[in-house]
Each structure stands twice: as C-alpha cells, then as structure tokens.
Amino acid sequence: MAGLVVRGGVLAALVVAALAVGGALMPRMFPAVPAAVPSPSVSAAASSTSPSPGPAPSGGIRPADSFAGWARQVAPAVRVPVGALQAYAYAEWVTSQTRPTCRLSWTTLAALGKLATDHGTATGATLDPASSVTPPIVGPPLDGRKGRIRVADTDAGFYDGDVTWDHAVGPMQLLPATWAVYGVDADGDQLADPHDLDDAALSTAYRLCAPGKDLTVADNWKTVIAAHDGVGANLQKVYDTAQAYGRQSTPRPSTPTGSRPSSTS
C-alpha cells in the first residue's frame, strides 16, 4: 500500500496494533460457497486510492483515528459518516499488513455496511466517536419465515437475546456463529463487540480474507462476497455500491486555469 511512511511513529504503532489484532485470531477456512453466483456487469469491484494512516488527531481514542484526515476528505463525496470510513479504512490497512494477498478494499466493506445498516444508523441508531452503535441493531429472527433463512440459536441468546433462533447483529449484521469464529477487538478496548463498528468491520474483513483469495480478481470477489452473511441475491447491490464509492472517492483531474474542455460536438 502506498503512503506507509508517516510522521510521529504512527506507522510503527499501527503495525504493532495490527500484529496484535492479527495474532488474536486464527480463523478457520470457510466452507464451500454456493454454486450459483450472480455476475456483476463488469470485471471487478472498483477501488479508490487506498487510504493511508496519518497522525491521529488530538484526543484520538482508537487506532482508526489515524485515518481521520483521509476520512474527513472522502466523507462528503461518498456520503458516509467519518467514523464509519475510519473503521473501514483501518480494516483494509490491517488486512494489508496481516493478510497481504487478500487485497480487500475499504469500498467493499463500506458497501456491505451500507446495505446492512446504513453504516450503523438504521432504525434510528447512532454511531458514537468510539465507533459503538447505540442502541444495538439486531435483525429479525432467522426462523425461515417471510423468505428468511432458518438458523437455530447458536449463542444461547448472548448477542441477540433469542434462545430459539439466531439473528444477524451489529452494524455489519454478522451472524453469532460468524462472530464466534472471526470476532476481534479492533480498537483496543479489551472487548470484541459486534455492535462496535471498528470491531465489526475488521471481523468482516477477516471473514472475507479467510478463503485466501485475491479479492481484486472478479471471480474470487463474487464467490467470497456471495457467501458472506446476508448477501445472497444482493451481490449485485453490493457490487454497484462498492463501484459507486470507488468512483466518488477518486479525485478527478482538475482543468488548468484559463483552459476550456475541448468540444466533441
């Protein structure tokens, strides 16, 4: 990733944090994915220039705060909360250090977060400065009704409050069984919390990188994303949203002062 030489020892601190987080989890390989996968209209999901860490702002309380400058610049263009962008950027950066062959982009994570809970703001929830979502977002019971899949309880109601059926939980709407394997503490608060977007974004990144595939390859991206919690037939929506974030966040060349675009008419 470009731009890794930063001031004030930020890179060294983030590397230590990344290695600590990476060493906290030894994820299993995910089972084989469904054979039927919708095909995005072009070859691969777009990615903007990869975010690079900078000096954390005064009073920064989470490793993702090192991406605050980048997030503030990008947020108006993509219409994503600054705190959410920081979480997605940090997750991309950590996986670039700990799982470099995965090549996961923040745009994919942001697309999943958008479709899952509008970046932790669905149902009137809010994302606080520490990346916690309140009140917690818990999906409907996965009881096989109204087109939902059927998933019997796996967490004794610990995350979703239901001892009969599982529910997708948190800003990334992960299943409790997924969290049991991939859930990590990304912000150093000593708690792996699916309702914390820093934790949820990095856990999602580890889940997507677990098969060991290069996600810049279109077929790999389609296969891995289609198998992710809750995606299924929404693969095209994830793709289109990631593409849009990539386009919107990529700076456009400016027209030199005093010049006019050439006419093609």
> What are the tens digits of pLDDT across the range 99-110?
999 999 999 999
Per-residue pLDDT reduced to its tens digit, 142-157: 999 998 999 999 999 9
CA distance 200 to 117: 12
Evaluate if residue 208 carries a pLDDT over 60.
yes
**DSSP secondary structure string for all residues of 173-211:** TB-HHHHHHH---SSSSS---TTBHHHHHHHHHHHHHTT
Contacts of residue 77, Cβ cutoff 8 Å, sequence gap at least 6: 248, 249
Which single residue is written with the structure tokens 């990144």? 205
Structure tokens at 178: 């997924």
On whether the CB atoms of residues 62 and 129 are closer than 8 A, the answer is no
User: Among all chains, which residue has been given the structure tokens 């675009």?
Assistant: 261
What is the distance between the alpha carbons of residues 11 and 6, in angstroms, rounded to a whole number?
A: 6
Q: How far apart are CA 101 and CA 132, in angstroms?
A: 30
Retrieve residue 44's tokens: 């691969």
64 confidence band (pLDDT: 50, 70, 90) = very high
pLDDT score at 230: 87
What whole-number distance in Å separates Cα of residue 101 and Cα of residue 53? 20
Q: Which residues contact 235 (CB under 8 A, 6 or more apart)?
A: 37, 38, 40, 222, 225, 226
Judge whether residue 233 has pLDDT over 90: no
pTM: 0.79
* Higher-scoring residue by pLDDT: 253, 137: 137
| pLDDT surpasses 90 at 184 | yes
In the predicted structure, residue 58 carries a pLDDT above the cut 70: no
pLDDT class of 114 with cuts at 50, 70, 90: very high
At 44, the pLDDT band (50, 70, 90 cuts) reads very low
Q: Give me the amino acid identity at 13.
A: A
Checking if the pLDDT of 41 tops 50, the result is no
pLDDT of res. 186? 96
CA atoms within 13 A on the CB side of 98: 26
How many Å apart are CA 187 and CA 203, to the nearest integer? 12
**Out of 14-18, 38-42, 142-146, 164-168, which region has the weakest mean confidence (pLDDT)?**
38-42
Residue 193 scores a pLDDT above 70? yes
Cis peptide before 135 (omega within 30 of 0): yes
- Compute the distance between CA of residue 76 and CA of residue 84 in angstroms, rounded to an integer: 13
Instruction: Give per-residue pLDDT as tens, 234-259.
Output: 999 999 999 999 999 987 655 455 54
* Over residues 75-103, mean pLDDT: 96
Q: Please list, residue by residue across 220-245, b when 16 or more beta carbons sit within 10 angstroms of its beta carbon and e when fewer do.
A: bbbbbbbbbbbbeebbeebbebbbbb
